[in-house]
Amino acid sequence: MKKLLYITNKTFGPGGLERVLSIKASHLADHMDYEVHIVTLDQGDAEMFYDFSSKIIHHDITTSSNPVQLLINYVKGLRKVVKQVKPDIISVCDDGLKGFFVPLLIGKPCPMIYERHVSKNIEIKSAKPSLLSRISTSLKFWLMNIGGKSYDSFIVLTNGNLKEWNLKNLKVIPNPLSFYPDQQSSLSNKKVLAVGKQSFQKGYDRLLQSWKLVLEKYPDWVLDIYGTISEKEGLDSLASTLGVSEKVNFYEPVRNIADKYQEASIYVMSSRYEGFGMVLTEAMAYGVPCVSFDCPHGPSDIILDKKDGLLIKNDDTVAFAKGIMFLIENEEDRKMMGDKARTSAKRYLPEAVIKEWNQLFVNLIHPN
């Protein structure tokens, strides 16, 4: 039995990284010949948001609020876990800067993989970053490339993400689906859905601008947005200013998000950038056609424009509104795209994606 050690930050949050890790690690532990370990930071006894296999062995490192002491405790903790587990392979799932330097911090006791779950663009926090922010971001990118070279394999989620990195160890493996239901949405509810935390990245300000145009023609439709609410984004205020508050609902993350996909007739993704866009594949698994900005990177890998969904020029909020209205007005096209989307989503089934991971592990553990 091969021993696999995942290094991450925490596994109790509602984010995409946590969801993907729960799917991959559980599948490897339950259905394949792997003893799976996960090491987290300062998680304590916190309950996990997603379901992880009971076969997975969990280790937790207690650090400190002091940055220097945190790093010391982190390195000591990792070395202790690695010495105890004696893994055949290590995979680092940490989008922070420290994740890039794990091989340099603890040495390389076995082949090591870095998993990049977000686009580099996540470092861009506003439409007009300051000079200091631009300098800081450039320095961070330089350090990331240095650290990335120390890994045996550097995994990104889409073909577009390949363009962000100047590395020779790159490989694309997409995120697996978290579910593929027996039943799909009827696409009969007058409901549009979006899922993701409130942030500059998710572009809900753009979505609300588009939604105002949709409501002018279709005032009986409703937009539901599920994701961690951030007051600083000012979305409630913007919705009120635009006059759409009564037809927009903001909800905190829910465990039964699958039910929300099944209730929706259209899924929308207004992100300015993405690492992948797993919400698209989840909506498609329910046969819900998606309207998405063609942002860097992910949607163009997932959606075949005008076949199983609609790709809209990035930042064109008028065209985005027209895309939503097209699916509202044309029920036959909506259902046809939904059926094709459901079929297309099968390529992200866990058994297909985990097969790629297993082959990578085997190739690294037993190189030719």
Per residue in 298-323, pLDDT (tens digit) is 999 999 999 999 999 999 999 999 99
Residue 85: pLDDT over 90: yes
Measured CA to CA in angstroms, residue 113 lies from 102, 156, 185 at distances of 10, 11, 38
In the structure, what pLDDT confidence band is assigned to residue 48 with cuts at 50, 70 and 90?
confident
238 and 263 part of one domain: yes
Q: Is the pLDDT of residue 368 over 80?
A: no
- Please indicate, yes or no, whether residues 303 and 359 belong to a single structural domain of this protein: no
Same domain, 153 and 220: no
Write the CATH number for 113.
3.40.50.2000
Mean per-residue pLDDT over the chain, rounded = 95
Is 226 part of a structural domain of the chain?
yes
Say if 184 falls within a structural domain.
no
Q: Is the pLDDT of residue 124 over 80?
A: no
Whether 164 and 242 share a structural domain: no
How many structural domains comprise the chain? Answer: 2
pLDDT at position 367 is 87
Residue 74 lies in a domain: yes
Q: How far apart are CA 40 and CA 27, in angstroms?
A: 19
Mean pLDDT calculated for residue range 181-199: 97
Q: Which long-range contacts does 135-143 make (Cβ < 8 Å, 24+ apart)?
A: 140/97, 143/97, 143/100
| Whether 307 and 275 share a structural domain | yes
Domain carrying residue 6: 2-176+349-365
What pLDDT score was predicted for residue 37? 98
Exposure letters 255-279 (e unless 16+ CB within 10 A, then b): eebeebbbebbbbbbbbbbbbbbbb
CA 298 to chain centre: 10
Neighbours of 184 (CB within 10 A): 19
19 within some domain: yes
Instruction: Note whether residue 211 is domain-resident.
Output: yes
**Are residue 235 and residue 335 in the same domain, yes or no?**
yes
pLDDT digits (tens, 9 = 90+) for 127-183: 778 888 889 889 999 999 999 999 999 999 999 899 999 999 999 999 999 899 999
pLDDT band for 14, please (50, 70, 90 cuts).
confident
Q: Which of 221, 222, 228 is nearest to 195 (CA)?
A: 228
For residue 314, the model assigns a pLDDT of 96
Residue 186 belongs to some domain of the structure: no
Section 27-44 average pLDDT: 95
Same domain, 168 and 31: yes
In this predicted structure, the answer to whether residue 45 has a pLDDT above a threshold of 90 is no
Let me know: does 342 contact 287? Beta carbons within 8 Å. Answer: yes
Q: Are residues 117 and 80 in the same domain?
A: yes
Mean pLDDT of 65-93: 96
Q: Say yes or no: 230 and 161 in one domain.
A: no
